[in-house]
Structure formats: C-alpha cells, structure tokens
Amino acid sequence: MTAGKVFFSVSMSLDGFSAPESMEGLHATPEQREQDPRLEHWMAQWMELQGWIFPQRFFRERLHLGEGGEEGRDNDIVRQTFERTGANIMGKRMFDLGEQAWPEEPPFHTPVYVLTHQRRAPWERLGGTTFHFVNDGIHHALDQARKAAGERDVRISGGSETILAYLNAGLVDEFSIALAPVLFGAGTRLFEGVDASRIALKQVQSESSSRVTQLTYTVHPR
C-alpha cells in the first residue's frame, strides 16, 4: 500500500497573515462586539479572509449551509482538498475554537488527531469524525494519522503553529494557499519562525479566480 502525502491548505492575506490578531470575535455576541470594536474588526477580517470559500457549493453542502452555491475552479479545489484527506491533525487552540463552533456533524468526516497535553477519551461526532487527543508529540500524531488515512493524504489543518512545527520538521510534502485580496497589517503570520535555511519550494500550480489566487507548492530539503 502506498502512503499518501502530508499537506496543508490554508487561506492567507496578501501581507502574509493566516489569522487576525485574535479569534475572540468569532464567538463574541453582538453586544460584546458592539462594546469592543476590536472584536468586530477581527471578525470582519476573518470573514474577508475566508469569504471565498463560503459561496462554494461543495463547502455549503459539507456544512449543511443550504442548497445552491458557486461551481467553478474554486469549488473543485475545495472538493478535492476534502476528498483527498483521510485524516486530519490540528493543534489544541484550533480544536478549542472549533469545539464551540462546529455543528454536531463537523466538516472533517475523518479521524482528527489533536495535539495537546490534555488527556481525554476520543470524542466521536456524527458523520465519521472522531477526535483523538495525542499527548506525545507531532511524530506520534502523524504515525497515527498515516495509519488511519491509508492511501489517502494527511492534512495538517492548523493552526499556524502546528503547520510550522510539521514544516520545520521536514514532514510536509506539499501545501496550498488561497491568497485572498485583503491586507491585515497585523495578526498571525503563517510563516513566522519558518526555518528557511532547510526548506526549498517548487511551485506546481497557480490559478486565479475572481475571489482568490490558488497557489500550490511541493516542499523539498534545501
């Protein structure tokens, strides 16, 4: 059996940020956002960054957001990203945000391995998603994810610290960025702390739509 690839796929602002300064705005009430304009600003930034994906038909179906949606190259890329993924890995911070926001049927439909120091029994959700909590590092999480994924690929879902840990460890085969036409000025930089002395990239794909530019690179040792 041939092992799949390890990859990540994220949205990024034109000035290099994958998230605003804080994600608190995501779960703030309208009253809280009215009292603290920063929450409203961070929420607006996140929605601008991810705005390209919400209209896509496959994404809307995956999250049960309603019928209809756009069908084009962006939609194809979203579908291919989900369909190639046999297991996901994410950091505890991303899980904590998602635990509050995901529906009973999260969008993954695969095993998800959460990097954490917390000991917790697996959390089974609807649609084939089970969260497993891994306490002994990125390599062990990847070993488990590879076994679960079989011939399909392992996606490093995020956040940026987790992506960077796998990238700097030489464990990422390729990645894709949806480059959004938005400027943040501050926030979480996707490649902050990357070990550029050890990583070389080869661009293998570049496609533009009216919403974003989709870039794909393979990763090689320098």
**Which of the residue ranges 21-30, 119-128, 145-154, 200-209 would you say has the lowest mean pLDDT?**
21-30
Q: How far is CA 88 from the centre of its chain?
A: 9
Tell whether the model's pLDDT for residue 26 goes beyond 80. no
Q: What are the DSSP calls for 24-77, one per residue?
A: GGGT--HHHHHH-HHHHHHHHHHHHHHTTTTTBHHHHHHTT--S--B-SHHHHH
pLDDT at 169: 96
Judge whether residue 6 has pLDDT over 70.
yes
Q: Which residue is listed with tokens 């062990």? A: 140
Residue 77 has pLDDT above 90, yes or no: yes
| Spatial CA neighbour of 7 closest among 57, 70, 56, 80 | 80
Q: Of 20, 28, 10, whose CA–CA distance to 45 is shortest? A: 20
Report the share of the chain in percent with pLDDT over 90: 77
Q: Are 62 and 107 in contact (CB under 8 A)?
A: yes
Mean pLDDT of 42-64: 91
pLDDT tens for each residue of 194-211: 999 999 999 999 999 999
* Distance (Å, whole) CA 119 – CA 130: 15
- In this prediction, residues 51-75 reach a mean pLDDT of 91
For the range 41-45, what are the long-range contacts, defined as Cβ-Cβ under 8 Å and sequence gap of 24 or more? 45/20, 45/182, 45/184, 45/187
**pLDDT of 39 higher than 70:** yes
Average pLDDT, whole number, for the chain?
Answer: 92
What is the band of 179 on the pLDDT scale with cuts at 50, 70, 90? very high
Q: Could you tell me if 10 and 174 are in contact, meaning their C-beta atoms sit under 8 angstroms apart?
A: no
> Within 169-208, where are the H helices?
none
Greatest pairwise CA separation for the chain in angstroms? 56
Query: Going from the N-terminus, what domains does the chain have, and what CATH number goes with each?
Result: 6-20+77-221 (3.40.430.10)
pLDDT confidence of residue 3: 75
- pLDDT given for residue 1 in this prediction: 59
Summarised one tens digit per residue, pLDDT across range 137-178 is 999 999 999 999 999 999 999 899 999 999 999 999 999 999
Average pLDDT over residues 107-118: 95
pTM summary value: 0.92
**Tokens 């959460």 appear where?**
114
> Reduced to 3 states, what is the DSSP secondary structure of residue 162?
helix
Give residue 99's pLDDT band: very low, low, confident or very high (50, 70, 90): confident
Q: How much is the pLDDT for 101?
A: 81
pLDDT higher at 138 or 101 = 138
Report the alpha-carbon distance of residue 157 to residue 171 in Å, rounded. Answer: 14
Residues 133, 139, 140, 146, CA torsion sign: positive
Q: pLDDT band for position 62 (50/70/90)?
A: confident
| Residue 193 clears pLDDT 70, i.e. is over it | yes
